[in-house]
Amino acid sequence: MEKEKINYEKIEEIISELKLEEKVAMVHAAGLFRNGSVERLGIPSLYMSDGPMGVRNEFPNASWVPVGNTDDYVTYLPSISALACTWNRNLAYEEGNILGKEARGRGKDIILAPGINIVRSPLGGRNFEYMSEDPYLTAQLAVPYIKGVQENDVAACVKHFAVNSQETERLNVDVVIDERAVREIYLPAFEAAVKEGNSYSIMSAYNKLWGLHCSHNKWLLRDVLEKEWGYDGVLVSDWSAISDTKLAAEAGMDIEMSVTDNFDEYFFANPLIKAVKEGEIKEELIDEKVRKILKLMYRLNMFSDERKSGEYNSFESRRKTLDIARESVILLKNEENLLPLSKKVKKVAVIGQNANIRHCEGGGSAEVKSLYEVTPLMGIKMLLGGNCEVAYAKGYTHDFNKRKAVNEEAIELAKNSDVVIFIGGLKHTKEDFSLFQNALHSTKEDNMVVNIDSEGNDKTDMKLPYNQDEIINSLLEVNPNTIVVITAGSPVDMSSWVDKSKALVNVSYNGMEGGRALAEVLFGDVNPSGKLTVTIPKKLEDSPAHSIGEFPGKAQVRYDEGIFVGYRYFSTYDVEPQFVFGHGLSYTEFRYNDIKVNLTEENEKINATVKFKVTNIGEKEGAEVAQVYVNDVESSVKRPVIELKGFEKVRLMPGESKEVTINLDKKSFAFYSDEENSWIVEDGKFNILIGSSSTDIRLEESINIKSKYKF
């Protein structure tokens, strides 16, 4: 199908007619979000947009001040971190499809999403833009997301390639890491994006890897991406990620983007023309880049009258956004079955700033000009209607002088209410970003904790900002049945109050319908089915990036934890977290039984077919994420105790059973050997572990692999 779409003869004809200056115009920006066009030959620009949570608002060609029109409001989607908490491949496709459709409707050709970097530390400023600490889960959700985007004649641009897990010194920090960790943890999602998702474009990262910027790194871009994986799409630089014309050109970069408006002075502009004319760079190398750009244009039907037109702000997109938001909500604790709440209550106290603010307008490049956003406060009021009084108090504030009065107002409200719901956590509004910047340069103790989720900065610690721990503890003293809801794109420190809390809900930035979805979960219209995609440590020092490795480093950052990222570290080194990877409760219960594993080895292939039953033994309809982990019983190298290698989300009516089938291939049992420069499966015993989380294992079976495999 794709070969029929691409006119290779025409591409070569166009290249032969292009002047050097025209070729170079195509490989660098001619605007902040487009490359150069060649009107003489009918070659258009590629128009790009940020888009992790929706197509970004419109900017002039050469200014970072938004146009300010009323025609660029869009659907505000759940963040990538929220989407991942659904553990639902179909919903990943739906979110990608909405984004692609709206990008095309706004006249875009490339949408700069999804972000598929690994969450390494709780402090990562852009954790909310990424899916997980686990490479398998990230890959499994990235592939359908990419396919959903690209069905709309829009290119997904997966980012940031590669080993990019921090914002501190992001333009120059040099990642020091062993190749095994790169291969096992940081590259698999990108490999899946190329081989299974067929991503049409990839964005290079800012950071250095082994001393070379990723945009200049031949090993990464030529040896791995192009030669090993067979990638033939377009490589786009992150904005200002190229700093050497020759290195970037020869490494394989195709389009240089940046943040300044001196477009002719970019490294891939006049300096590139000069390098070709002086014989430093061959013109054939520029032809290669132009060829890939033209192929992309054919893939997107840019030379066809049949290109899809897209649409934005449709009712159907908003409905699907609500579906995603509903499945993203995670129930972490529910002692005494406090949840769901009764709708017959007379007075509900909703306390906390996150109940009453819009998150769509913050986060850096993830900002969205949303048509609307249902806040949690609005969602609760809409659900309960006029027979219940829903009263609101801020509960906390950044203003130290007003903190006592704000706290007292909240406590008084809690004392006089039937139900108390605290909704706090992190934020990423523009106001909070300014406060964060001020706090970084402040010596006042009361101003120091202003942690936010945003591009451009990492957090300073895991603490909740604005003294939220104090108000949570006070509310729990006044009303031990206070429901605590944490909104955050990263793990936060819950240690001072979590043992007192009976009901705890966790949610990331959940899109324009997030408040409605949260209300439906709290009051029982929706049974929660979200699961954690990261481990929540009890304290920052328990996180492997901080206990073994370093974060954020300075000129260098050492990833000395290697492959032991997230739950791989906690399970292997027997460190107890606050909440484990894969955890999430339901209002019903599920039973696992009847496990069968069939192993075959032939023609250098391994296939282990794992079958088991899941039954809803409760009284409510619900969905369970059944997770399959692999344990290598005896290995010649140190390996994690468990690694996620399969999962399936199963929706069941009360009393209903379903058989789940998971197929494990050779890669499911392999590790990467630095010594042999290959993937290795050793013969011997492997345990197949099936459960509701990484520690809640319900079924176990062993297999014996007879031969050693190298690939």
CA distance 546 to 539: 10
DSSP 8-state class, residue 263: G
Beta carbons of 475 and 415 less than 8 angstroms apart: no
Instruction: Report the phi/psi class of residue 539: left, alpha or beta, with left for phi > 0 and alpha for psi in -120 to 50.
Output: beta
Report how far residue 343's alpha carbon sits from residue 336's, in angstroms, rounded to the nearest whole number.
18
Residue 282 tokens read as 């061959």
> How far does CA 412 lie from the centroid of its chain?
39
Rounded Cα gap, residues 76 and 529, in angstroms = 22
Whether the bond between 114 and the residue before it is cis, its omega within 30 degrees of 0, is: yes
From the candidates 109, 238, 254, 453, give the one annotated as an active-site residue: 238
Rounded CA-CA distance 55/99 in Å is: 7
Do residues 417 and 347 make contact, with C-beta atoms less than 8 angstroms apart? yes
CA distances from 188 to 116, 138, 178, 224, 422 (A): 10, 9, 15, 11, 39
Alpha-carbon distance of 131 to 118, in angstroms, equals 7
Give the residue among 537, 401, 515 at the shortest CA–CA distance from 463. 537
Copy the structure tokens of residue 274.
């000069």
The values of phi and psi at residue 28, to 5°, are -145, 165
> Would you call 350 helix, strand, or coil by DSSP?
strand
Residue 4: Cβ-neighbour burial (10 angstroms; 0-12, 13-18, 19+):
exposed
Look at residues 540, 538, 542 and name the one whose alpha carbon lies nearest to residue 569.
542
Dihedral in degrees, nearest 10, Cα atoms 308, 10, 203, 257: -100
> Which of helix, strand or coil describes residue 597?
strand
> Which residues in 351-360 are b (16+ Cβ under 10 Å) and which e?
bbbbbbbbbb
Q: What b/e readout covers 94-103, taking b as 16+ CB neighbours within 10 angstroms?
A: bbbbbbbbbb
Does residue 574 have an active-site annotation? no
Radius of gyration of the chain (CA): 26
Other Cβ atoms closer than 10 A to 148: 23
- The tokens describing 359, both together, are 């998150």
3 state SS of 9: helix
171: alpha, beta or left, given left = phi > 0 and alpha = psi -120 to 50?
A: alpha
d(CA 118, CA 186): 6
- Catalytic machinery residues: 238
